């Protein structure tokens, strides 16, 4: 069987490895962490830095196709690998997704809306009239996730002070919008003709971290279809090959704004493993191998709940999993991480029911009893 390679061995890598192995592939994982969640399932674990030349040579020589599970992979390393083997998504697309300034410019260039924003590449850029972006959120252009690297600002003075506090690194100042809801759509694109989108998820965040995804989203079907269409349009504009996650804001007037994208499967797409014809990790395998995307229909309404380290006991003791094991319509997924920390994503569970309200009610009741 062919060997597939993945840069990164976190939980997304672990679920990718599981899907690929089930489909008969072998997998090599590159991750510097000896205890990376994906390592225990991989055929080969290259335990080395992401830019380690020797490890990258080994990957290129041994893998029929290579992908990534995190956006902060070195885009140049991906371009280099692409000289000798199939790489998706492309280094160019990953470079766009890693930089909020490039990302928002591309979204607008594709004819799609973002929040009003100001790109700040140096201190001069913030010496302009800031009123159109206030009250706002200052976000570092690079490396932020789970709301890290973001500061809420109410005045121009606060914005300038916050920018200085972030050490003058490139940022965007984004207008704070009044959100009715947040949703996401995950698209798999192999070519203009071969493209499929998963059902839209409604996402509820707690402390800047995804807490629950509800599918189908509780929005009008026409609005969900519009989000799917926008995700397709963006993938097309980027000539994207692979799995692309698109996060949206739904505003008070039911208009959609693109918040950000991720060049990989997404936390809000974990539900696809238990509730769709094919899941986002199978799609990643299919796209990287140039195969047709699988069908994406939802087989059942579903709610996904993230399990953060917060629900572990202070001494590291695990929650009471029996309550999930005893629920016949729930699926528990644990990522095999050794150390629980507050805010750390340790696992998730899904609850499938005949309608989302019932699934949500049960999912929340289960969380109370863990
Ligand atoms: P992720 O873990 O999804 O990568 P991130 O750190 O990149 O998160 P964003 O998605 O930019 O952060 O923002 C995190 C959350 O903050 C959003 O899901 C939303 O709830 C809120 N938020 C961000 N930007 C805005 C905005 N312009 N107006 C209102 N709320 C916002
Ligand atoms: Mg992000
Ligand atoms: Mg986000």
| Residues of the binding site for ATP | 100, 139, 144-150, 174-177, 182, 205, 259-260
The residue to mutate among 137, 145, 177, 183, having the most atoms of ligand 1 within 8 angstroms of its beta carbon, is 137
CA distance 296 to 187: 10
pLDDT at residue 29 in the model = 98
Residue nearest to atom 27 of ligand 1 (CA): 176
pLDDT confidence of residue 71: 80
250-263 pLDDT, tens digit per residue, is 999 999 999 999 99
Residues at CB less than 6 angstroms from ligand 1? 115, 137, 139, 144-148, 174-177, 179, 182, 205, 208, 247, 259-260
At residue 250, φ and ψ (nearest 5 deg) are: -100, 120
Helix (H, G, I), strand (E, B) or coil at 20: helix
Bridge partner residues of 186 (DSSP)? 245
**Model-level ipTM above the cut of 0.90:** yes
Per-residue model confidence (pLDDT) at position 333: 98
pLDDT at residue 355, as a whole number: 97
- Looking at residue 149, what is its pLDDT? 80
Nearest CA-CA partner of 240 in 91, 350, 361? 91
Domains of the chain: 3-87 (3.40.50.20), 116-175 (3.30.1490.20), 179-369 (3.30.470.20)
What are the two backbone dihedrals, phi and then psi, of residue 269, each rounded to the nearest 5 degrees?
Answer: -110, 5
Encoded tokens for 5: 């390679």
Quote the pLDDT of residue 28: 98
pLDDT at 72: 85
Bridge partners (DSSP) listed for residue 150: 139
- The DSSP code for 298 is B
pTM above 0.95, yes or no: yes
Q: Please, what is the end-to-end C-alpha distance for the chain in angstroms?
A: 41
Torsion region of 53: left, alpha or beta (phi above 0 gives left; psi -120 to 50 gives alpha): alpha
Are the C-beta atoms of 14 and 41 separated by less than 8 Å? yes
**DSSP conformation letters of 300-355:** S-EEEEEEEGGGS-TTSPPP-THHHHT-TTEEEEE---S---TT-EEEEEEEE-SS
Q: Whose CA is nearest to atom 22 of ligand 1?
A: 176
Q: What is the pLDDT of residue 146?
A: 78
Tens of pLDDT along 116-133?
999 999 999 999 999 999
pLDDT, position 78: 94
Q: What is the pLDDT of residue 144?
A: 82
What pLDDT is recorded for position 331? 98
- The helix-helix angle for 11-22 and 280-288 (nearest 10°) equals 70
Given a cut of 50, the residues of the chain with pLDDT beneath it are none
């Amino acid at each position: 069987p062919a060997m597939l390679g993945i840069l990164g061995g976190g939980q997304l890598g672990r679920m990718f490895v599981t899907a690929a192995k089930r489909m008969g592939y072998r997998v090599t994982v590159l991750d510097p962490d000896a205890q990376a969640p994906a390592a225990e399932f991989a055929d080969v674990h290259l335990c080395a830095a992401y830019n380690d030349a020797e490890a990258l040579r080994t990957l290129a020589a041994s893998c029929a196709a290579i992908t990534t599970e995190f956006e902060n992979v070195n885009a140049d390393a991906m371009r280099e690998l692409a000289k000798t083997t199939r790489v998706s998504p492309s280094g160019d697309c990953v470079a766009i997704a890693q930089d909020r300034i490039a990302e928002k410019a591309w979204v607008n260039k594709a004819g799609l809306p973002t929040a009003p924003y100001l790109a700040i590449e140096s201190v001069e850029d913030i010496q302009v009239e800031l009123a159109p972006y206030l009250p706002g959120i200052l976000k570092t252009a690079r490396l932020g996730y789970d709301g890290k690297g973001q500061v809420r600002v109410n005045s121009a003075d606060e914005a300038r002070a916050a920018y200085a506090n972030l050490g003058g690194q490139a940022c965007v100042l984004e207008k704070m919008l009044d959100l009715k809801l947040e949703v996401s759509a995950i698209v798999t694109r192999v070519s203009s003709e071969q493209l499929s989108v998963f059902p839209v998820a409604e996402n509820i965040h707690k402390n800047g971290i995804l807490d629950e995804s509800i599918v189908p989203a509780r929005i009008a079907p026409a609005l969900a279809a519009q989000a799917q269409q926008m995700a397709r349009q963006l993938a097309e504009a980027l000539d994207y090959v692979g799995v692309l996650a698109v996060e949206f804001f739904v505003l008070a007037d039911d208009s959609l704004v693109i918040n950000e994208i991720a060049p990989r499967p997404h936390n809000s797409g974990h539900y696809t493993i238990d509730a769709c014809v094919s899941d986002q990790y199978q799609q990643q395998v299919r796209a990287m191998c140039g195969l047709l995307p699988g069908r994406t229909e939802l087989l059942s309404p579903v709610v996904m709940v993230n399990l953060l380290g917060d629900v572990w006991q202070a001494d590291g003791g695990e929650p009471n999993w029996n309550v999930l094991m005893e629920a016949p319509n729930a699926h528990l997924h644990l990522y095999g991480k050794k150390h629980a920390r507050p805010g750390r994503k340790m696992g998730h569970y899904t609850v499938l029911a005949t309608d989302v309200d019932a699934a949500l009610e049960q999912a929340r009741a289960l969380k109370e009893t863990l």
